[in-house]
Structure 1
Amino acid sequence: MAALAIAVYQFLPDLGWWRTGWQVGIGWAGVAALLVGAHRLPRPERLPWWLFAAGVFSNSTGIAVGDAAEAWFGLVDLPTPADPFFLGLYPACAAALAVLIRRRDRRPDGAALVDAATITTGFGLLAWVYVISPVGLGDPMDRLAHATQVAYPIGDLLLIAMTTRLLRSGGSRGAPFWWITGSLGAFLVGDSAWVVLDNMGGTGEALLAEPWFSSGLESVFLVAFTLFGVACLHGGAREVAAPADARPAGLGKGLLALLAGASLIAPAVLAAQTAGGQVTDGWSIAACSAVLFLLVVTRMALLLRHVERQARQVRELARCDELTGLPNRRAWNDELPRALERARRNNEPVAIAILDLDHFKRYNDTYGHPAGDQLLKAASAAWHAALRDIDVIARFGGEEFVVLLPAAGAGDGHRALTRALEATPLGQTFSAGLAVWDGAETSDELLARADTALYAAKAAGRNRVEVAGQSSRLAA
C-alpha cells in the first residue's frame, strides 16, 4: 500500500492541497505504523520506536505547516513556522538511535566511536565549506535566520554520526535493522540533494520547477517516512534492540572504503579550491586534516591493541586444555624443564606423577561421551583442589594427567596424591606413578620412570599410587 501511495504521488496534479495532503498522509501513516508496531512490543522496548514516531510526525507535519504559512501568510523567509517541525526530526531520531545503540552494545566500543567520528568529521568539512560558512560571508540574514539555515546541516551531521555508530554496533542485523538504516539514508540523500540544488543556483531552480523532478525528490522523503513504519511492523522488530551476542566485525571492505573516503575529503576540498585559483577555507581544511590524522592514529592504536589482545588469547588457548581448563601437554613440556632447573638451583627435591583414570573407556561406553567429559572436568577440579597450592596439574592427553610437585620428596608426593585419590568424584579411582628427580636425569627420563611406576600401579590392581624406584644413575 505504501509503495502504491508513493507511486500515485508522482501523477497527482499540483492543484490545491492535493500534494500537501498526500505527503502528510503518508507521513502520518508511517507514524501510525510505528505506534501500532511499538504497541505489539513489551513496554520497555517501545521507547526508540516512539522517538522515531515523534520525529516522523514532526517532519511530516512541517510540510502542512510550511505550505499553510506560505499560502495564508506569505511566510517564505527563514525562519518559517515549519522549520521547528522539520528540525524536530533530528533530535528525535538521534535519541532513538542512542537508545538502540546503548541496548545493542552493553559495553563501550572505542573503535566504533572513532569510526563514527572520522566519517562525521570528513562530511562535516563539506557541510562547513559549502553550506555553513557561505551563510555568514556577507549574508544579510539576521541571526535567527542564519541559525535556522545552519541547523539543517548540523542535524544531518548528527544523523550521520549516529547512523554510522549504529552500523558499527553489535546485535541483530535483520530486515528491521536495514529498514531503519535505509530510512535514515533516505533522509540524508534528500537533504543532500536540496543542498546541491541550492548551490547550483539557477540550474537548481530550473530542475525544481520540473514537476517530475520535484515529485521524485519529495518521494525520497516519503520513502523515508514509510521505511520506519515497515521496520516497526516487521516480526523481527524486537531483535533490533536485543543485546549483542558478539562484537561486530572489524574493518570490513565497505567500512574501510568509507573511512578512506572520509579521510580524503579534506585534500579533495583543498585540491578543488586550489584548482579554482583561491583557497578560501585553508584554516578549516587544516583543522579537519589534523583531526582526521589524530583519529586515524587513534584507530590504528586501537586496532593494534586488539591484535595484541587476540594474539595473547591465542597463546593462552594454545597452552590450555579446552575441556578441563588445565594447562595442556605443551604447557607442561615448557614448565617441567624450568621446574627441574629451579630445583637444581635451589638444591631442593622435586617430584612428578602421572595419573590415569581407572576403566575410563568402560565408563565412556556405559554412560556416553558427554558423561565421560563431565567426569574428566569434575575429577580434574577435585584433584586440583586436593593438591597443594604450589603443585601444578596438567592434562597430558585423554584420561591421563601429570602433576608437578615442587619441594616434595617421595613421602610428601605420596600423601598429596593420596588426598587426590580420595577426592576423585563419582565413585571413580585412578592409578598413579610417582617419581622423584635424581638431580641429573632429563625431563624425558623422569617422565619415563613415572610412567613405569604407573604401569606397576595398574598391574597391582589399580586404585593406588606407586613410587618409582631409584634411577639407573643412583642404582649404579
Structure 2
Amino acid sequence: MSRAFGVLAALAVVIYQFLPDDRWWLTATQVGIGWVSVTAILAGAHRMPRRERLPWWLFAAGVFANATGIAVATIAAESYGLVDLPTPADPFFLTLFPAVAGGLAVLIRRRDRRPDRSALVDAATITTGFGLLAWVYVIAPRNLGDHMDRLAHATQVAYPIGDLLLIALTTRLLRSGGSRGAPFWWITASLAAFLLGDSAWVVLGNLGAEGEALANTPWIARLLESVFLVAFLLFGVAALHPGARQVAEPADSRPAGLGKGLLALLAGASMIAPAVLVAQTATGGVTDGWSIAFCSAVLFLLVVARMALLLREVERQAGQLRDLARSDELTGLPNRRAWNDELPRALERARRDGEPVAVAVLDLDHFKRYNDTFGHPAGDQLLKAASAAWHATLREVDVIARYGGEEFVVLLPAAGAGDGRQALERALAATPLGQTFSAGLAVWDCRETSDELIQRADTALYRAKKDGRARIEIAAGQPSNAAA
C-alpha cells in the first residue's frame, strides 16, 4: 500500500506542474493533496495499536491545518482582499509547527527511554547556529522601522521560530536510538522538505524586488509549492509503510557517537557565527555584533560541554573494558588475570599484618562426562550455578576466581588450614545438581612465591582426585601454625 501511494503521490506532483495557471485550480489541487495525505496518515495509524497512534495523529493534525491554510489564504485574498499580516490563514499555517513538533517529541521520548545529554547538546549546537542566521537575516530585519504593527511582526517572526523548533527536534530525532527503517527516513525527508520550502521563501524575501519577481515567476512558484506537497505526501508514505509502528519502538542499543556526517554538521553550525561576522565585515560594517558575540559564546560553551560528555563516555567505556578484561564472561567471577594481580597483593598484606593466608584450587569432578552426557550448554549452566553457590558460602573478604575450564581458585585471607578446610566443606556441600568437586588447600609459608603457593595447592588437588574425588586435601609442607 505504501508503494502504491508513493507512486500515485509522485504522479500527482508531476501533474501539478502542468495544471492551468489558475489560482483556484492550483489551490484545490494543493488542498486535495494535503487532505489525501492526512487520510493516508490516519489510515496507517489505524492499523497500529491505539497507544502507538498519538505521534501520527499529531502529524495528521499539522498537515491538515497547513493544507487547509492554503484554501483559507486563497479565499481571504481573492474574495476579501486580506493579504496583510496577520491573515486568517496564518493560524492554520502556524499550527503545523506545534503539531509536528509534538509528534516528534513523542517519537523521541519513546525511542530513547533514558536521557541522552550528548544528543541534546548536538541538537542545541546545530539549532543555535541556524538560529543566528534566522535572527540576522529574517527576524531582526523585520523590526527595523517599518510600519507593521506588533501582531504582524509577531506573526512574521513566528515562522522562522517554528522552523528552528523543527530543526532542533529533527536533529534530536536523528540522534535518537531505535529503528532506522524506511518510515524513519520518510519522516526525516518530509521535515527536510518543509524546512527547504520555508528557507527558499526566506531567501527570496531577502532578495528584495528581485526575489519578489522570482517568486511571481509561475514555474518557480509552482516548484516551491511542490516542495510542500512532497512534504505532505511523504508523511503519508511513512504512515502506510508496514514498518511504520517500529519508528516509535525503543532502542535496543545506544546510537553511535560522533560520525563523519554529524561531525561535519556540528562543525558547520559552529562556523556560522564567524561566517556571518566575515560577511558583514566585507559589506562595510558589523550590524549584529552583539548577536554574533552571544551566539559565539553559546556555541563555545556547547562545544566544551560536548567534549566533556565525550571524555566522560570514553572514560566509562575504558572502565568497562578494564572490568571485562578482568572478569570471566561465563560466570562473572574474576578471571585468571585478575587473580594473578590480586594474589601477590594478598600475600604482601599477610606479610605486613603477620596473618596467615590460604589458597585453594577447586576442580569439578567428572565435568567432561557431564558435558558429554548433557551437552555443553548444560555444562555452562553447571559452571555458572556452581560458582554462584560457592561464592555464597564464602566470606566477603574471600575471593573466588575462575582459573580456566572447570578449575577455580579461592583466596582465604586470615585463614589457616583448619578455617580453610571448613570453608571448602561448606562450598562442597553447596555444589548444585548433585555434583562434587575435588580441592587442594595450601597455606602460605611466608617465603614462597605466589606461583609456588599455587603449585602446592595444585599438587594437593591431584592427590584428592587420585584418592577418590569429592574431597579436600591439605598440601604438604604447611607452616607450623597452618592448622590454626
TM bucket, shorter chain: over 0.9
The AA in structure 2 aligned to 1:304 is L
Q: Which residue of 2 aligns with 1:198?
A: 205
Q: Which residue of 2 aligns with 1:409?
A: 416
Whether the 8 Å contact between 1:118 and 1:259 is mirrored in structure 2 is: yes
Whether the 8 Å contact between 1:351 and 1:405 is mirrored in structure 2 is: yes
- Using the TM superposition, give the Cα deviation of residue 66 of structure 1 relative to its aligned residue in structure 2, in angstroms: 0.2
Alignment equivalent of 1:258, drawn from 259, 265, 274 = 265
Give the SS at the match of 1:393. Answer: strand
- Using the TM superposition, give the Cα deviation of residue 366 of structure 1 relative to its aligned residue in structure 2, in angstroms: 1.0
For 1:286 and 1:57, how far apart are their aligned partners in 2? Answer: 40
Kindly report the root-mean-square deviation, in angstroms, between the aligned alpha carbons of the 2 structures. Answer: 1.1
Whether the 8 Å contact between 2:401 and 2:410 is mirrored in structure 1 is: yes
The AA in structure 2 aligned to 1:412 is D
Structure 2, unaligned runs of 5 or more: 1-7
> Superposition pairs for residues 311-350 of structure 1, below 5 Å?
311-350=318-357
The AA in structure 2 aligned to 1:111 is S
For 1:51 and 1:154, how far apart are their aligned partners in 2? Answer: 19
Q: Which residue of 2 aligns with 1:219?
A: 226
Which deviates the most, 255-264 or 194-203? 194-203
Q: Which residue of 2 aligns with 1:208?
A: 215
> Superposition pairs for residues 2-401 of structure 1, below 5 Å?
2-15=9-22, 17-401=24-408
Give the SS at the match of 2:476. Answer: coil
- Using the TM superposition, give the Cα deviation of residue 386 of structure 1 relative to its aligned residue in structure 2, in angstroms: 1.5
> Superposition pairs for residues 437-456 of structure 1, below 5 Å?
437-456=444-463
- Using the TM superposition, give the Cα deviation of residue 443 of structure 1 relative to its aligned residue in structure 2, in angstroms: 0.2
For 1:269 and 1:83, how far apart are their aligned partners in 2? Answer: 30
Structure 1, unaligned runs of 5 or more: none
Whether the 8 Å contact between 1:30 and 1:226 is mirrored in structure 2 is: yes
For 1:101 and 1:348, how far apart are their aligned partners in 2? Answer: 58
Give the SS at the match of 1:17. Answer: helix
Whether the 8 Å contact between 2:129 and 2:273 is mirrored in structure 1 is: yes
For 1:212 and 1:17, how far apart are their aligned partners in 2? Answer: 17
The AA in structure 1 aligned to 2:468 is G
Give the ranges of 4+ consecutive aligned residues of structure 1 lying more than 6 Å apart after TM superposition.
none
Give the SS at the match of 1:184. Answer: helix
For 1:252 and 1:145, how far apart are their aligned partners in 2? Answer: 42
Superposed CA offset, 1:418-464 (max 9, x none): 11111111111111000010111110110010010011001101110
Give the SS at the match of 1:75. Answer: coil
- Using the TM superposition, give the Cα deviation of residue 473 of structure 1 relative to its aligned residue in structure 2, in angstroms: 12
The AA in structure 2 aligned to 1:231 is A
TM-score, normalised relative to structure 2: 0.97
Give the SS at the match of 1:259. Answer: helix
Give the SS at the match of 1:88. Answer: helix
For 1:460 and 1:16, how far apart are their aligned partners in 2? Answer: 101
Superposed CA offset, 1:272-301 (max 9, x none): 000001100000000000000000000000
- Using the TM superposition, give the Cα deviation of residue 15 of structure 1 relative to its aligned residue in structure 2, in angstroms: 2.2
The AA in structure 1 aligned to 2:63 is V
For 2:22 and 2:191, how far apart are their aligned partners in 1? Answer: 30
Whether the 8 Å contact between 2:442 and 2:478 is mirrored in structure 1 is: no
For 2:373 and 2:346, how far apart are their aligned partners in 1? Answer: 39
- Using the TM superposition, give the Cα deviation of residue 388 of structure 1 relative to its aligned residue in structure 2, in angstroms: 2.2
**How many residues get paired?**
474
Whether the 8 Å contact between 2:444 and 2:479 is mirrored in structure 1 is: no
- Using the TM superposition, give the Cα deviation of residue 85 of structure 1 relative to its aligned residue in structure 2, in angstroms: 0.5
Whether the 8 Å contact between 1:376 and 1:399 is mirrored in structure 2 is: yes
Whether the 8 Å contact between 1:59 and 1:88 is mirrored in structure 2 is: yes
Alignment equivalent of 1:461, drawn from 462, 468, 472 = 468
For 1:248 and 1:444, how far apart are their aligned partners in 2? Answer: 45
Superposed CA offset, 1:309-361 (max 9, x none): 00001001110001000000000000000101111111111100000011111
Q: Which residue of 2 aligns with 1:421?
A: 428
Whether the 8 Å contact between 1:349 and 1:408 is mirrored in structure 2 is: yes
Give the SS at the match of 1:433. Answer: strand
The AA in structure 1 aligned to 2:70 is I
Whether the 8 Å contact between 1:410 and 1:436 is mirrored in structure 2 is: yes
Whether the 8 Å contact between 1:27 and 1:56 is mirrored in structure 2 is: yes
Superposed CA offset, 1:359-400 (max 9, x none): 111111111110010000000001111222221100000000
Whether the 8 Å contact between 1:449 and 1:471 is mirrored in structure 2 is: no
Report percent identity of matched pairs. 80
For 2:201 and 2:434, how far apart are their aligned partners in 1? Answer: 79
- Using the TM superposition, give the Cα deviation of residue 194 of structure 1 relative to its aligned residue in structure 2, in angstroms: 0.1
For 2:16 and 2:309, how far apart are their aligned partners in 1? Answer: 49
Superposed CA offset, 1:48-82 (max 9, x none): 00000000000010000000000010011111000
The AA in structure 1 aligned to 2:172 is R
The AA in structure 2 aligned to 1:51 is L
For 1:233 and 1:192, how far apart are their aligned partners in 2? Answer: 28
